[in-house]
Amino acid sequence: MAHVDVSQEIGANQEDTWKVFSDLNSFEKWLTIHDKWYGEPPTDLTVGSTFTEQATIMGMSNKIDWVVEEFNAPSNMKISGKGLAGAQITFDLSVDPVSDTTSTASIVADFTGQMVVGAIGAAIERASDKECKASLEKLNELVS
């Protein structure tokens, strides 16, 4: 299993940060592992919404079928996905208010599956940590 837990202070309030953070159509602008959508992603997310994405970590692309497990605007959403080779991924995206002009965005990600063990699991964890940090930096640049 690989686990990532990263946060970044964002130079925008909770509402403005959430609008971009939770908008699937904006993923290409800030989420560094996002490659493309298969079909059109939903514009109004609710618990049970589904969508399919291609994402790449460590040069390995995977087609992931996502389902929204939790959706509590403007504070958090949790999505879980299944990919090829038994890969399972959970992303918990949250935005907490700091002030009227700043917020903190966080990504907690878990990767499991028969390929996510030992040295490979540790490498995926390091690469995912780096990608999530870079993603939150891009999010900050986008909304600040």
82-139 pLDDT, tens digit each: 998 899 999 999 999 999 999 999 999 999 998 888 898 999 999 999 999 999 999 9
Total domain count for the chain? 1
Instruction: Give the domain extent around 123.
Output: 2-143
> Do 51 and 42 touch, CB atoms closer than 8 A?
yes
> Do 106 and 83 touch, CB atoms closer than 8 A?
no
Alpha-carbon distance of 68 to 27, in angstroms, equals 15
- Residue 26, helix vs strand vs coil: helix
What integer pLDDT is reported at residue 115 of this predicted model?
82
Widest pairwise Cα distance in the chain? 44
Alpha-carbon distance of 105 to 32, in angstroms, equals 15
Residue type, 69: E
Output the domain CATH number for residue 118.
Answer: 3.30.530.20
What integer pLDDT is reported at residue 114 of this predicted model?
87
> Do 109 and 132 touch, CB atoms closer than 8 A?
yes
